[in-house]
Amino acid sequence: MQTSELIARAAGLADQGARRILGIAGPPGAGKSTVAALIADALGPERAVVVPMDGFHLAQGELDRLGRAERKGAPDTFDSAGYLCLLRRLRAPGERTVYAPAFDRSLEEPIAGSIPVAPGVPLVITEGNYLLDDAPEWAPVRSLLDQAWYLAPDESLRVRRLIDRHVRHGKDPESARAWVAGSDEPNALLVARGRHRADLIIGAGAG
């Protein structure tokens, strides 16, 4: 599916006259943030804003305390309850701007109050690994999405992207490959369990 078709689908949601939420799910390295940004840029800031699930990563200090630093990105290393609360606020916009957290990859930390979502913006695009997960703490997310898309790129390309990302953010190539094998890929297997809950599966041919 071409990017232009995805933009048209998202525009259709934005034009429905009330706040809509589009979820983009997929394994690590699938290109979720890239697709979300392309759509938001095409629609413009008056019509769409991106709110990433990654803003609900637990802080590194808390992961250290919990002994989960080596599995950062696993389902239990996010504040899923906080993410659900934000989605519920976004579904019923009042008269005030809602502020969402972002994730700073240069710091590897979430940053609160980073993304303003004005009440008049008709489309919120949220992207992340576990939007389609059916575990009790994540399953309610699906009902809060008007549409859910699942990105399923070529696996070898996805893994290369992950390794390159980790190298860009400070890991040496060997450490990057080890992190992908030991953390990102186990997470990818968990993410794949939810693909059947998507409205649209976008395969390797998208571009």
Give the H or E element holding residue 114.
Answer: strand 109-117
Q: Does domain 3-202 have CATH number 3.90.650.10?
A: no
Residue 113 backbone dihedrals phi, psi, to 5 degrees? 60, 30
pLDDT of residue 204: 54
State how far the alpha carbon of 20 is from the alpha carbons of 60, 119, 179, in Å: 32, 12, 36
Question: Rounded to the nearest 5 degrees, what angle is found at the Cα of 88, between the Cα atoms of 136 and 138?
Answer: 15
pLDDT of residue 206: 42
Q: What is the mean pLDDT of residues 123-134?
A: 97
Lowest mean pLDDT among 142-151, 172-181, 196-205: 196-205
Could you report the per-residue pLDDT of 16-26, keeping only the tens digit for each? Answer: 989 999 999 99
* Separation between Cα atoms, residue 151 and residue 168, nearest integer Å: 23
> Is the pLDDT confidence value at 146 over 50?
yes
For residue 12, name the pLDDT band (cuts at 50, 70, 90).
Answer: very high
For residue 207, name the pLDDT band (cuts at 50, 70, 90).
Answer: very low
Listed by start position, the domains of the chain span: 3-202
What's the whole-model pTM score?
A: 0.91
Could you report the per-residue pLDDT of 48-83, keeping only the tens digit for each? Answer: 999 999 999 999 999 999 999 888 889 999 999 999
pLDDT of residue 184: 86
Identify the CA nearest to 52 among candidates 69, 67, 40: 40
Could you report the per-residue pLDDT of 79-111, keeping only the tens digit for each? Answer: 999 999 999 999 998 899 999 999 998 888 999
Burial bucket for residue 90 (CB in 10 Å: 0-12, 13-18, 19+):
buried
Q: Give percent of the chain with pLDDT exceeding 90.
A: 79
The contacts of residue 143 (CB under 8 Å, 6+ apart) are none
Strand partners, 23: 126, 148
